[in-house]
Structure 1
């Protein structure tokens, strides 16, 4: 997706923000704040790096479970093995969705050479990959002259158009679920599409699913390495040394996801068009969970807390505490607004393609609009939070 950028000065004028510094008495949780010298920009950046690494580690582990499930499915296609692979995809998305808060500042995932486009690009023209209703011979799978490999799929991704998605979460999703042709539920691809003699090019469909899942695991593994501790030359080392600039980038990521991507591209566009093709995870009908996990990712970073796959919680120096040292009221207001956004996204009902239909006063569109409004206000509060900690150059992605 491509976006417009807006600097903090323009945002401030647009949002008519007024922020003022005040003395800190208590943190929003009601406990006394740590001494100022313990809550430096560097401390926040260091803990952010640990949080990012932990979230990507959990995502990679879940993607490897998905890879194992896919291997079982292609080895012995059946309704049961297909259902297990689908379940693994949904479980892995719960972790990946939270990592979207680590984007939009040119970090390892979406730098010029980053893998974001291979991992999570959308919306997807399904016919670029496989046969669809009315086009039985379409797609790379049905072109037996095309060699399926990690290299060739990477080269084909977004080739000739942004919707020509060949790799990543949504290519895997499409292969597991198929087109969503139902108003009441997700896609319903038969496992027989992967059985020789039951569907044309079933062998290539199995091969494609195996290769594209392996590529996803490779790309997530590279992100884990980029954020791994103790490596003097990786991206994490730069962030930990970056001080105020690193905090600026963190806030760019949160503000951009809040307004430009989640409120804008993922909710507002779909609500306006009421078109299933603008739905993020349309094949599995998992878009409502995408919104929740994206909102949770923002909250994780703001609070400096992340619940790991093993049930433990990683906690440390946070943006909330950093801002509270300068403006306790603003820190509390932002914390409440972020919590309200999480709650609003949790209120969006599945299936999302039904939730966005009807007039603006219909219950579904009202629930989606509530989330959009909350996320938009949240982005304004994050801009104010940046100013409170001395960051005056904040360029956010806009829809």
Structure 2
């Protein structure tokens, strides 16, 4: 997601009366407390899957760098796409939980200025937009001048890369995370709104005379360090949601249940409305801008949007299907709503189904025989793609209204889902 810290407005600062439901060692769990506890279970399982798939990617990187090949690069790309499945479903936990929001930028900031990292095409124009970081090319330069400061990049380490994020105060300077790794695996997508993703050759990682793109050894060091940081960050986050620790989970479950429900609903509504409908679809669609495509190097954007929406639905239904096929499930918002108003619960479920169908239609178009990806759908002359994207925006807007009805039904006030300053 775009690298910006969302205000929780008044939603999470609202004081809760002393008579609100509070977990104690002697009192039985209330239905609301059980829902919040299952929310924490879902978070742990989702981040644990994100960690495990990133660890699998890291192992594959080590094997590839030891003996680069076309087949090895294809395998890495597939493992990156697999790693995105649980991570995208985890994004719903960012909105409402500051521990995730404050941490997330290092993993998923976008769009990034790829000229900061590696070679780019001769007609690359981002530097003309005022970001001097777009000309640094970390991989090609062991020492770079940035303003009055000389940066030593002799060693490419996870810590060094993390220190370069937002260099010079520019959010476009993204040196780490999924999208930096994506660029290292695919390279630039130079096809605009035409068919095709990035086409980085595996020879960009060969040593010696067969190296293409120059600096193959440093490119391998960069890839290895970026994945190392990704794994470390995800390991830290899954531990924040693990049982039995002095961690964020413990803090969350010690709060009144009403506050936990508010965080859940705020997260669902904000990802649904401001982030997914707004920043990730509406912005790119209205500007016909491939630069605002989420997974712009790999053309995997359709799946990222689909799994973002799936993550929102997971929270309402109180369940998450793990990467090994097992199901984590428990007390849910759906249970609470159905106990009060079964008709409303059915309506909300229908809204989630409508969103799922709308985004599945985008996936089907992207993965079907014609292979019309997101960057092709947003082209000004692609009426079919634009219609599907507008349908998905509408479904997400209606879904957010349903989430607000859930909050009202459960007497959770001051929800105010973030719109990211978009009008719908």
Under a length normalisation based on structure 2, what TM-score does the superposition of the two structures give? 0.83
Query: Are the equivalent residues in 2 in contact too, given 1:39–1:321 (CA < 8 A)?
Result: no
Q: Does 1:240 align with 2:262?
A: no
Quote the Cα distance in structure 1 between the aligned partners of 2:100 and 2:306.
21
Quote the Cα distance in structure 2 between the aligned partners of 1:70 and 1:260.
35
Q: Does 1:396 align with 2:417?
A: yes
Quote the Cα distance in structure 2 between the aligned partners of 1:378 and 1:274.
25
Q: Does 1:124 align with 2:124?
A: no
Deviation at 1:67, TM superposition (A): 0.4
Q: Does 1:365 align with 2:386?
A: yes
Quote the Cα distance in structure 2 between the aligned partners of 1:212 and 1:174.
11
Equivalent residue number for residue 77 of structure 1: 68
Query: Are the equivalent residues in 2 in contact too, given 1:178–1:188 (CA < 8 A)?
Result: yes
Quote the Cα distance in structure 2 between the aligned partners of 1:256 and 1:178.
31
Q: Does 1:301 align with 2:315?
A: yes
Equivalent residue number for residue 95 of structure 1: 86
Equivalent residue number for residue 257 of structure 1: 271
The one-character-per-residue Cα deviations of 1:203-228 (angstroms, maximum 9, x if unpaired) are 10000000000000000000110000
Distance 1:334 1:3, change over 3 A: farther
Deviation at 1:107, TM superposition (A): 3.4
1:181-192 to structure 2, matched below 5 A, reads: 181-182=190-191, 183-192=194-203
Distance 1:69 1:6, change over 3 A: closer
Q: 1:165 aligns with which of 174, 196, 204?
A: 174
1:266-277 to structure 2, matched below 5 A, reads: 266-277=280-291
Deviation at 1:302, TM superposition (A): 0.5
Q: 1:179 aligns with which of 170, 177, 188?
A: 188
Deviation at 1:39, TM superposition (A): 5.9
Secondary structure, aligned partner of 1:396: coil
Q: Does 1:336 align with 2:350?
A: yes
Q: Higher relative contact order by CA 8 Å / sep ≥ 6: 1 or 2?
A: 1
Secondary structure, aligned partner of 2:328: strand
Q: Does 1:154 align with 2:175?
A: no
Deviation at 1:3, TM superposition (A): 7.0
Distance 1:304 1:272, change over 3 A: same
Quote the Cα distance in structure 2 between the aligned partners of 1:223 and 1:342.
27
Quote the Cα distance in structure 1 between the aligned partners of 2:72 and 2:381.
41
Secondary structure, aligned partner of 1:306: strand
Q: 1:377 aligns with which of 385, 392, 398?
A: 398
Query: Are the equivalent residues in 1 in contact too, given 2:51–2:235 (CA < 8 A)?
Result: yes
Query: Are the equivalent residues in 2 in contact too, given 1:98–1:295 (CA < 8 A)?
Result: yes
Secondary structure, aligned partner of 2:58: helix
Quote the Cα distance in structure 2 between the aligned partners of 1:319 and 1:38.
15
Deviation at 1:325, TM superposition (A): 2.2
Distance 1:154 1:6, change over 3 A: closer
The one-character-per-residue Cα deviations of 1:13-47 (angstroms, maximum 9, x if unpaired) are xxxxxxxxxxxxxxxxxxxxxxxx97621110001
Query: Are the equivalent residues in 1 in contact too, given 2:8–2:96 (CA < 8 A)?
Result: no
Deviation at 1:324, TM superposition (A): 2.0
Quote the Cα distance in structure 2 between the aligned partners of 1:130 and 1:201.
9
Equivalent residue number for residue 27 of structure 1: none
Query: Are the equivalent residues in 1 in contact too, given 2:106–2:176 (CA < 8 A)?
Result: yes
Quote the Cα distance in structure 1 between the aligned partners of 2:217 and 2:142.
11
Deviation at 1:384, TM superposition (A): 1.5
Quote the Cα distance in structure 1 between the aligned partners of 2:9 and 2:218.
48
Distance 1:388 1:271, change over 3 A: same
Q: Does 1:66 align with 2:57?
A: yes
Quote the Cα distance in structure 2 between the aligned partners of 1:305 and 1:39.
19
The one-character-per-residue Cα deviations of 1:308-334 (angstroms, maximum 9, x if unpaired) are 112111111001111222222222111
Secondary structure, aligned partner of 2:309: helix
Distance 1:39 1:363, change over 3 A: farther
Q: 1:144 aligns with which of 142, 145, 156?
A: 142
Secondary structure, aligned partner of 2:98: coil
State the Cα RMSD in Å. Answer: 1.9
Equivalent residue number for residue 347 of structure 1: 361
Quote the Cα distance in structure 2 between the aligned partners of 1:39 and 1:295.
28
Unaligned runs of 5+ in 1: 10-36
The one-character-per-residue Cα deviations of 1:330-349 (angstroms, maximum 9, x if unpaired) are 22111110111111111113
The one-character-per-residue Cα deviations of 1:140-170 (angstroms, maximum 9, x if unpaired) are 1111221311111111012221111100000
